[in-house]
Structure 1
């Protein structure tokens, strides 16, 4: 077959990508589940398959440094209202079988929590984080694209889930991350030699991600967020735990003192009733 006669997909340009204003507009149109999923994908760069494969346990694990709990209801209680939570997701890219670590924005964490709190279901660790089928997910993107008359970008709809992955990559790259760093965040495969010898440090990658977080944040002002390192969060958590232990000890000491005082008072009353005098009736003699 003549290669010249094979139809090639029309390439897309940077201007075909959804921008922040369009994404903001779309976020106002959709339900809590889709709002959480869209913000997660734009800030993590995860593909549709990895996004829909996430579980409740995965969310617990990714945010563990902020709560040290394994109970989803306690996790939601502890994280609700915070604006500084940057989950660390340890994932496997289905397309390349590559294990990788990526991160998502505080605003996406907030929307995930809001979505889960709005759900009327009992959560099990193995339950999907985003309870939606791939077909329904695709159809929702198509409906949004058609409602806003966004048309095509190349061969496909301009607004589809894969464009959020492209948005993530382009935003971070144009904001100063290297192509290798973007590839690492998206779980894109390297050749076998590079995979074997060059391993990315997740903590360093997290610091770089936070440095460029504004590029993939849609609604929040990142400059006003109090973003903390995992080590600092762990130290804060340990300090809070120690403070609670000290408070519990104070309560126990006070309770014990009160019990002793009550016991002494009772003993004094019994002594006076039985013998006609109490300890206070005696004077100390030098």
Structure 2
């Protein structure tokens, strides 16, 4: 059933504007629902309104039976929790458009993907994948890894944006972007490894042939760069483009990028069993970017901003006003984002920046002033603060490791109470005899409770790892150190 031609569905989908991924996801959800019920979107709305006008209670309406049966069908067919949540959200959105109430069903509003779908590829996996890539595939893959761009944002990236942001000296490209999904303006960067791959791809696009071959020349003409060209274009372009010059004709689609990553995964022989997502896929490149930066010690606010997530307006404005400082911070993590093992040190942006700074220092040493000396002392203070922060973080990690089994058991007990009562734990404590519901303590938990009463030192450590005040204190220490470092760069 093609629901996009249905007037009720069309009006609903038009309301999402340029959010193509949301449209696609919700269209698929609604298609499943209409096939399950055997009714068109218009019929569903008409029936819903008829039942409301007839004064029927929710459990007497047709939507009550159909929606619950559909929900049960999703569960019995072993759909992932996140898939169920997204599917139901799409159907709710459709009915809400026409002010028709949808029955409540129990599902996880913070559903996650299945554990096997959360895996991200290691660097060695990515190296093997890059070996089988075409120049275009390698450029797209590295754009996701080094800049954290989503498939949709990659398709919207313009050639001019890339060329304007490319620093030929360092090889880093600065991209001032607006993320389509969240309508958030942000700044991100592409690594030298990535820009080398993109430049190679662009050279191939603009290549010329020596022998006269009109058919081949026409093919090359369709892919050559133009002032308004997208950075990445479709591999198959209609002849219509040569007559109109309309860049939308050769624009790459999100579906095409999905197919590109499927092809890479096939060639690299890294496909996963049926029913699971391949680790070599577009969204995972974004996860690799996020994970690599955080594991290398990057500040979480910095990572959130350059990946295009929404952060508080004050901090976002602060970041947007300092692209060069952000670029210097990014340059410090190039090693973490570089996939190939061999990279010429003289081409590394960190090398270029260090060389530039050393030359500046040599000049400044001859005319050293008290002000400069004060700056050095301030920098030393910042480094001392960073060292203290590292020690505090290490201490907290050790405590987390020590108390991890106890904290996990606590979480399991809380979840068990919430699953049985259907309400959050605090509400359950207020309204139920939780002591009769909560699972019995393990031997480890009993020993933990005994030590809390008998061992003051043990009790102090437990309070330190579970105290929100201590957690907040460490987070504030991180942010203050990061802000001081930004100011002194």
TM over 0.5: yes
Label 1:192 to 1:12 Cα distance change in 2 as closer, same or farther (>3 A): farther
Q: Does 1:140 align with 2:260?
A: yes
1:185 paired with 2:287, answer no
Deviation at 1:92, TM superposition (A): 0.7
Report how many residues are paired: 217
Which structure carries more relative contact order (alpha carbon 8 Å, separation 6+)? Answer: 1
| Residue aligning to 1:123 | 225
Deviation at 1:126, TM superposition (A): 1.1
Structure 1 residue 207: Cα displacement: 1.1
2:172 alignment counterpart: 86
Question: 1: CA distance between counterparts of 2:307 and 2:187?
Answer: 8
Note closer, same or farther for the CA distance 1:149–1:211 as it changes in structure 2 (3 Å cut).
closer
Instruction: Report what 1:255 is aligned to.
Output: none
Describe the shift of the 1:173–1:38 C-alpha distance in structure 2 as closer, same or farther (beyond 3 A): same
Q: Secondary structure at the match of 1:214?
A: helix
Residues 170 and 156 of structure 1: CA distance in aligned 2, closer, same or farther (over 3 Å): same
Partner of 1:158: 279
- Closer/same/farther in 2, CA of residues 202 and 13 from structure 1, 3 Å limit: farther
Q: Distance in 2 between matches of 1:153 and 1:190?
A: 37
Report deviation, 1:158.
Answer: 2.1
Residue 99 of structure 1 and its aligned partner are, at CA, apart by: 1.2
Identify if the C-alpha distance between structure 1 residues 153 and 172 changes in structure 2 by more than 3 Å, giving closer, same or farther.
farther
Relative distance call for 1:225 and 1:12 in structure 2 (3 A) is farther
Task: Decide whether aligned partners of structure 1 residues 193 and 12 sit closer, same or farther in structure 2, where only a CA change above 3 A counts.
Answer: farther
- Matched residue, 2:147: 44
- Call closer, same or farther: CA 1:55–1:10 in 2, change over 3 Å: closer
- List per-residue Cα deviations over 1:113-140 (Å, max 9, x = no partner): 1111111343212111111332222112
Query: Which structure 1 residue ranges, 5 or more long, are not aligned?
Result: 67-81, 233-286
SS at match of 1:182: helix
Gaps of at least 5 residues in structure 2 are 1-103, 206-219, 235-251, 357-489
Identify which range, 97-106 or 120-129, moves more after superposition.
120-129
Q: Which string of whole-angstrom CA distances, capped at 9 and with x for unpartnered residues, describes residues 217-246 of structure 1? A: 1114375535235xx6xxxxxxxxxxxxxx
Match of 1:169 in 2: 290
User: Which residue number corresponds to residue 106 of structure 1?
Assistant: 192
Secondary structure, in 3 states, of the residue corresponding to 1:177? Answer: coil
- What aligned pairs does 1:1-286 form with structure 2 within 5 A after superposition? 1-4=104-107, 8-12=111-115, 16-63=119-166, 65-66=167-168, 84-119=170-205, 120=220, 121-132=223-234, 133-134=252-253, 135-147=255-267, 148-151=269-272, 156-192=277-313, 195=316, 201-219=322-340, 220-221=342-343, 223=345, 225-227=347-349, 228-229=352-353
Answer yes or no: is the 8 Å Cα contact 2:305–2:311 preserved in 1.
no
Cα distance, 1:186–1:8 mapped onto 2, change above 3 Å: closer
Separation (CA, whole Å) in 1 of partners of 2:184 and 2:153: 12
**In the superposition, relative to structure 1, how do residues 153 and 19 fare at CA in structure 2: closer, same or farther (>3 Å)?**
farther
Q: Is the 8 A contact 2:120 2:284 kept in 1?
A: yes
Equivalent residues of 1:9, 1:155 under 8 A apart: no
- Contact 2:171 / 2:347 at 8 angstroms: preserved in 1? no
| TM score, norm. by length of structure 2 | 0.40
Deviations 1:133-184 (A, max 9, x none): 3222211212333452431699633221000000000000000101111111
Take 1:182 and 1:154, find their aligned partners in 2: how far apart are those partners? 31
Quote the RMSD (CA, aligned, Å).
3.3
- Distance, in Å, in 1 between the alignment partners of 2:317 and 2:194 is 33
Deviation at 1:194, TM superposition (A): 5.0
Matching residue of 1:244: none
Aligned-partner SS, 1:180? helix
